[in-house]
Structure 1
Amino acid sequence: MEKNIALVSGAVGAVISYLVGGLGMAVTVLIALMALDYATGLMQAAINRELNSRVGFNGFIRKIYYLMMVASVYLIALVIPGIGYAGDGAAIAFCVLEFISITENGTKMGLWMPKFIQDLLAIVKDKAGEGNAK
């Protein structure tokens, strides 16, 4: 389900980027959301007494990989005509995934979340096979 959300949000992001002449800030926002996700992940692990340097390091490496993927899309867009805004779309897709992760970290800390966000997370987890089957 997260892949579908990323695909749709990336496509919408690319269209919006095209319509407004490029976002430019998409990667900056992505990096900020990645930092927030990492920080909330550390907070969640500390609260739940699950701090693990290996898990934190692996999370950091995954974020670097995602940035490399976005950079790859920007580079490919330089040589393939007509997909100039695909990099912004990819960055926006990863922004949505980072927001979902930040929200999940909050719920794991026991913090209040609006009902519609809880429902969205439940749907994503259920579709990904992580939720409880009812």
Structure 2
Amino acid sequence: MKNILNSIQLVLTGLGGYLGYVLGGYDGFIYALIAFVVFDYISGVMVAILERKLSSEVGFRGIFKKILIFFIVAIANILDVFLVKNGSVIRTAAIFFYLSNEGISILENCVRIGLPVPQKLKEVLEQFSEKGDGDDA
């Protein structure tokens, strides 16, 4: 039993190290993005439950989208490492873009549930979103 647990621990450690390398390290930006992605998914499930629109197909589609966010961050990090070579400009821009999108989505879910949202918070997230609108494809 102990060998199985050690093997699982070894695999998870290797996976965590590899993801850290591909994503450009575990810094505050990545932690914030992880938190926003999780909060957005949970708040989306809450809305679906309250509106009686809970669907496993929609749920899996949401999970796949969240995974692809981290693929994009990994691609941005690879571009930084091999093209820019100094700094993490593209990675940081990608993270900020998805942080603002996830933040706006969380606020929208809060409003749909009936929770009042501070206007200043809406304005800050909308500013991030507007700055990124011309850059996305």
TM-score bracket, shorter-length normalisation: 0.5 to 0.7
Please report the RMSD computed on the Cα atoms of aligned residues, expressed in angstroms. Answer: 2.8
Matched, 1:38 2:45: no
1:57 aligned partner: 60
Larger Rg: 2
How far apart are 1:115 and its partner, in Å?
A: 4.1
Q: What is the CA distance between 1:118 and its match in structure 2?
A: 6.4
Aligned partner of 1:67 in structure 2 is 70
Q: How many residues align?
A: 104
The answer to whether the 8 A contact 1:104-1:121 is kept is no
1-side partners of 2:62 and 2:85: how far apart? 34
**Could you say which structure has the greater relative contact order, defined with CA pairs below 8 angstroms and 6 or more residues apart?**
1
Give every structure 1 segment of 4 or more consecutive aligned residues whose post-TM-superposition deviation is greater than 3 Å.
Answer: 115-122
If each structure's helix is expressed as a fraction of its own residues, which one has the higher value? 2
What do residues 68-101 of structure 1 show as CA deviations (whole Å, max 9, x unaligned)?
A: 0011000111111366322122112111110000
CA contact (8 A) 1:74 1:84 kept: no
* Distance in 2 of aligned mates of 1:53 and 1:110: 24
Distance 1:120 1:32 in 2: 18
The alignment status of 1:99 with 2:100, answered yes or no, reads: no
Counterpart of 1:87 in structure 2 is: 91
* CA distance in 1 between partners of 2:59 and 2:76 (Å): 26
Question: Does residue 1:114 correspond to 2:115, yes or no?
Answer: no
Question: Counterpart of 1:26 in structure 2: which amino acid?
Answer: F
Given the superposition, is the C-alpha separation of residues 25 and 104 from structure 1 closer, same or farther in structure 2, using an over 3 Å criterion? same
Gaps of 5+ in 2: 1-25, 130-137
| 1:46-69 deviation line (CA, Å, top 9, x unaligned) | 111111111111011011111100
Q: 1:118 to 1:90 in 2, by over 3 A?
A: closer
* Percent identity (aligned): 31
